Structure 1
């Protein structure tokens, strides 16, 4: 199975770093909206496709713009949420990486379904500051979730640290922040 990880479009939380990281629920900028539209030609979707999305406003907006008028499966999953990379014990979640509450997601993004997850606390806490061992255990659950669709490829719209965490886990290679993708760049990973 091929997992195609896509970084969300440019968000307002990157406009004045590091101060803007304190912004709650940052949305896409107009440039971010344009980047999401360009995904339509870079990675055209069909009704056969599955799009898994992080529970943040900027990722949901990216997915909505990209998948507009395509009747594909759209699922929000907390294991696609923001993740600090590299993980470290004294990390704290920035306000910009807090997850949207499920009621807001249901109201603003009714075309998206919610993944059923055994650990419902992940819908509040996400995976941002989980220790590496816990993350790797949950990653196996996430891969199982993706396999359950029985599709050749799954698209995952998420965040730079999350993508790099999954890349490092799957490849076994030590990665750094230099390996982060730019906005709406994507990376293909094949898992068994």
Structure 2
């Protein structure tokens, strides 16, 4: 099974750093929309593919644009929501990384399935500030769940810190912020 992590397209929260990080619910920019459209050529989807998406508008928009016209399975999960990297217990979740409510997602992204089996705790706090030991347990459980889906290709549309955290978990190598993927950058891992 191929597991491909893809970072969302350029978001409004990156246009005027650091001030723009305090933007609540930032959408994709025009450049981000174009980046999401290029995913159609880079990673053509089929009906058998599964996309797992972070419950943040910019990731949902990236997946929506990329999968337009393809009836693949689209699952929204807080287990791929924003994650600070590296972790610092003194840091707070930024407004740009606040998880959307299930109701907003259902209203704005009607063809996406919401992962309901997870506790509401994950939907309210996500994995942003989860200590490394706890993330390891949750992350390993998430990867095991991905294996159980059984599809040939699973794409995960997420965030730089989240992707790097999962990459570190999968490879066992210590990574830094220098290892972050660029906008709509991807990392491919095989799970057996």
Q: TM-score, normalised by structure 2?
A: 0.97
Q: CA RMSD in A?
A: 0.9
Aligned to 2:181: 181
How far has the Cα of 1:118 moved from its partner?
3.6
Which stretches in structure 1 are left out of the alignment for 5+ residues? Answer: none
Report the Cα distance in structure 2 between the residues aligned to 1:6 and 1:21, rounded to whole angstroms. Answer: 21
Report the Cα distance in structure 1 between the residues aligned to 2:91 and 2:191, rounded to whole angstroms. Answer: 29
How far has the Cα of 1:190 moved from its partner?
1.8
Report the Cα distance in structure 2 between the residues aligned to 1:117 and 1:164, rounded to whole angstroms. Answer: 25
1:47-71, Cα deviation, whole Å (9 max, x unpaired): 0100000000000000000000000
Report the Cα distance in structure 2 between the residues aligned to 1:113 and 1:148, rounded to whole angstroms. Answer: 17
Written as runs of structure 1 = structure 2, the 5 A alignment for 1:160-171 is 160-171=160-171
Which stretches in structure 2 are left out of the alignment for 5+ residues? Answer: none
How far has the Cα of 1:145 moved from its partner?
2.1
Aligned to 2:21: 21
How far has the Cα of 1:148 moved from its partner?
2.4
Aligned to 2:156: 156
Aligned to 2:85: 85
How far has the Cα of 1:169 moved from its partner?
0.9
Q: Is the 8 A contact 2:22 2:95 kept in 1?
A: yes
Written as runs of structure 1 = structure 2, the 5 A alignment for 1:118-133 is 118-133=118-133
Aligned to 2:98: 98
How far has the Cα of 1:153 moved from its partner?
2.0
Written as runs of structure 1 = structure 2, the 5 A alignment for 1:50-69 is 50-69=50-69
Q: TM-score, normalised by structure 1?
A: 0.97
How far has the Cα of 1:151 moved from its partner?
1.0
Moved >4 Å (runs of 4+)? none
1:46-95, Cα deviation, whole Å (9 max, x unpaired): 00100000000000000000000000000000001000001122121000
Deviates more, 1:3-12 or 1:138-147: 138-147
